[in-house]
Every structure is written in structure tokens, then in C-alpha cells.
Amino acid sequence: MQTIKGPAIFLAQFVGEAAPFDTLDGLAGWAAGLGFRGIQIPTNDPRLFDVALAAQSQDYCDEIAGRVAAHGLAITELSTHLQGQLVAVHPAYDALFDGFAAPEVRGNPAARTEWAIGQVTAAAQASRRLGLTAHVTFSGALAWPYLYPWPQRPAGLVEAAFAELARRWRPILEAFDAAGVDLCYELHPGEDLHDGVTFERFLAAVDDHPRACILYDPSHFVLQQLDYLAFIDRYHARIKAFHVKDAEFRPDGRQGVYGGYSGWAERAGRFRSLGDGQIDFGAIFSRMAQYDFPGWAVLEWECALKHPQDGAAEGADFIRRHIIRVAGRAFDDFAGSGVDTGQLNALLGLAAKG
């Protein structure tokens, strides 16, 4: 077994216009000051990271890694959540998602898709140049508007959506395979890959591609009322990245799982800062240790109530306290008797073999 690395923090929710949140060095220094040991870097903001340049330039990647290391930190993964979302966009969401794309491809869905594919593909090479083994992203969605089947979905609609999703992602997966990097999808409502069933459907469509992996975030499973511990038992071999984010689900006589028209603070399901929600992180970290999770425990802050800087400051210590330093031997090794084969046969009442 191996000990999870951490604590680390995903920078996306903390990027801002004022120092220290407007530059990579400023954010790195701030994170290090809170006790984090790693940072997960979003690639949609060129102030922090230029993914196209990183795919081409080892010097640039060495410079970025050196700047991060100067703060006593490591880069855990790169993120293309926003670009990955744009790999597959249903037309109903074109206007809303255009803001995630480069200005030159807005208003042109086909060009936007190709731009997004290029961005995520570039992240494969950038990750390789940085010596990373995992990358985190979203899948995008073509079938999401048809999630709740009324009117009844026509036969074959979901199958066609996943076939197209697989067609778009397969060459990206091949690029990550060539780079030696796992591509980890965050299973998230709003994405076609949002639970175990949809991940399995996608996996079948890409022929069980070895680089199609999971970014595990239990908060999204609480909001779906999915067993987030049984999920680890079932899919641990594909879990290669981990967002540590808390949530709570408190339905009442007025709203439940579909209470999404309310503001975040009024929903039955809402994200919370670490320790303020309902998730059993002791059990999660135990399973991660049991199944030899190879990566980092990365704080993602999205709380409906608490100030982000308070959530970040508390989160570093919360993760540190939950990381299990795994044992190098079994607890009862001291009682080992060191018996030989003959003694084992005698203990079992077996005749000695001639």
C-alpha cells in the first residue's frame, strides 16, 4: 500500500483580479502559506498557464515547474474542465458555453469543438513534459437535456449520443496514451458522464480504453444520492484523481434532488466546506488507502455559505488529518510463528508427503 499525497488545492475557484490571486506565483505562495503541498492548475487562464505553449516547449514547462517548486509545491495535475466541456455541447447550451471558448471561435460550434479538442490534446503533451501521470477534465454532454424522459426519448437516442461522444474523445484518449498520462473525467451532473452507469456506457463505447479514468469527487454523488463508498469499491481501478469536496443533502416537503431552480444556499443539495457537510471522509480515505490510490488529495472549494479563504485555510489541515500513513507491515506480524511446510501439514492433520 502507499500513502496518499497531499494536501493539495485546485486553484480554479480562487483565481481573481487582485493579488495574490491574479498570478501563478501569487497563488502558489498563498497556497504554500496555508500548508498545501501541491496545486492543481487550470489551463483556461493564460495568466496562470499557457497549455498550447506547454505542449510545444520543454523550457516553458521547466520554468513553470521551477516556479512552483520554489514555493515548496508540486503540480498535481493540469485541468481542462472548461475546454473538455466544449468537446461536446448540445445546441441548447451554445450561447451559455460560448463564454468558455477563445473569442475567435465563439458563435461557431464546429470551430469551438475543434478548438476544445486541440486544447485537451495539448494538455496530454503538456502533462508529459511536466512529468505528470494524470489529467482532469469534463466529458461534455450531448444527451443531458434528455435526462428525464418526458416526452419519451426515441429509441436509440442515448446510444447515438454516446457513440458520438466516444468518436470525439477516442483520438484524445490515444494522445494521452501516447503521452503516458491517464485522462480522468470528473463525473458531474450536467455532463453525459455523471455516474457509474454513464461511465460504463462510455467505457464500452471506447472499448475499455486504458486511459479512460475517473476524477473521484464524492460531493456530486451526495447530490445524486449515490453510494459514494460503494462507488470506490466498484471503480477503484479507474480512479486516478481525487477532489476532496464536501456536500449535504437535506430534502424536505418542498424540494429534493431536482431542487436546482433554487439558489445554492436554499437547495436541498448544496456544496459545503470540508467538515461542514455530511460526507464520511474517514471512510473515503480508508478506502483510498486500502485500494492503493496513487495520487493526490486535492481540495476543491465550492461552499454555499463559507468564505473561500476560510474554507481553504481549514481545508489544508482537514486533508492532512485524514491522510492515512499506511503501515509497512501487518499489525500481527509480531506473532508470526515461522513454521515450515511440515508443521503446516501437521497443523492441518495432513500426512507428510514422501
- Residue 218 or residue 347, greater confidence: 218
Q: Give the chain's domains with CATH numbers.
A: 5-347 (3.20.20.150)
Mean pLDDT (the chain, rounded):
96
Cα–chain-centroid distance for residue 334? 39
* pLDDT (0 to 100) of residue 248: 98
Per-residue pLDDT at 18 exceeds 90: yes
**Taking residues 240-256, what's their average pLDDT?**
97
- Residue 336 or residue 193, greater confidence: 193
Give the residue from 205, 203, 277 showing the smallest Cα distance to 245: 277
* pLDDT (0 to 100) of residue 15: 97
Q: Which residues of 10-41 are buried (b: 16+ CB within 10 A; e: fewer)?
A: bbbbbbeeeeeeeebebbbbbbbebebbbbbb
- pLDDT band with cut points at 50, 70 and 90 for residue 218: very high
The CB density around residue 147, as the number of other CB atoms within 10 Å, is 13
Cα–Cα distance measured from residue 176 to residue 41, given in angstroms and rounded to the nearest whole number: 18
Q: Is 169 helix (H, G, I), strand (E, B) or coil?
A: helix
Per-residue pLDDT at 260 exceeds 90: no
**Taking residues 56-63, what's their average pLDDT?**
98
Per-residue pLDDT at 201 exceeds 90: yes
Per-residue pLDDT at 354 exceeds 60: no
Q: What percent of the chain has pLDDT over 70?
A: 97
Q: Which of 171-175, 260-264, 330-334 has the lowest mean pLDDT?
A: 330-334
